[in-house]
């Protein structure tokens, strides 16, 4: 799951770089991008820690407590999956907007 997310984000970063290289004089805010990446990494680490704790609790549980622990692990995995899907959809929408070709009006405005 982490590998897929990192691969998607790396692809987005490369694609964004190519798209931006075709734009005139728009400089990306590298500090904001790095801060966003660091925030995402910290969030992923916190999610991993929470899942590790739930799995440890599951492995130590006995009887009916084991079932409750298993439910907690599955619920956490589903929540992470939904969060990742939402992030990918958001990035996909941004990519779609960036890939749209300018209209003739946009092109004329560009040459003014």
* Angstrom distance (rounded) from CA 5 to CA 22: 26
User: What is the per-residue pLDDT across 70-106, written as a single tens digit (0 to 9) for each?
Assistant: 999 999 999 999 988 888 877 666 666 666 655 555 5
Radius of gyration in angstroms for the set of CA atoms belonging to the chain, rounded to a whole number:
21
Contacts of residue 16, Cβ cutoff 8 Å, sequence gap at least 6: 28, 98
Between 45 and 2, the more confident residue is 45
CB atoms within 10 A of CB 54: 19
What is the pLDDT at residue 63?
A: 94
User: What is the per-residue pLDDT across 11-57, written as a single tens digit (0 to 9) for each?
Assistant: 666 766 655 555 554 566 788 888 888 888 898 899 999 999 999 99
> So where are the chain's domains?
1-18+42-99
Within 13 Å of residue 21, how many CA atoms lie on the same side as its CB?
6
- The CA-atom distances, in angstroms, between 54 and each of 58, 81, 82, 106 are 6, 16, 18, 53
Is residue 13 within 8 A of residue 94, CB to CB? The reply is no
Between 43 and 69, the more confident residue is 69
């Amino acid at each position: 799951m982490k590998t897929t997310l990192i691969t998607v984000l790396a692809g987005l970063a490369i694609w964004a770089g190519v798209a931006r290289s075709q734009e005139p004089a728009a400089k990306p805010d590298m500090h904001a991008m790095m801060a966003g990446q660091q925030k995402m990494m910290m969030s992923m680490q916190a999610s991993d820690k929470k899942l590790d704790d739930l799995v440890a609790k599951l492995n130590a549980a006995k009887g009916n407590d084991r079932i409750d622990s298993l439910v907690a692990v599955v619920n956490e995995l589903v929540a992470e999956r939904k969060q990742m899907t939402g992030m990918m959809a958001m990035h996909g929408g941004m990519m779609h907007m960036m890939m749209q070709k300018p209209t003739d009006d946009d092109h004329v405005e560009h040459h003014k």
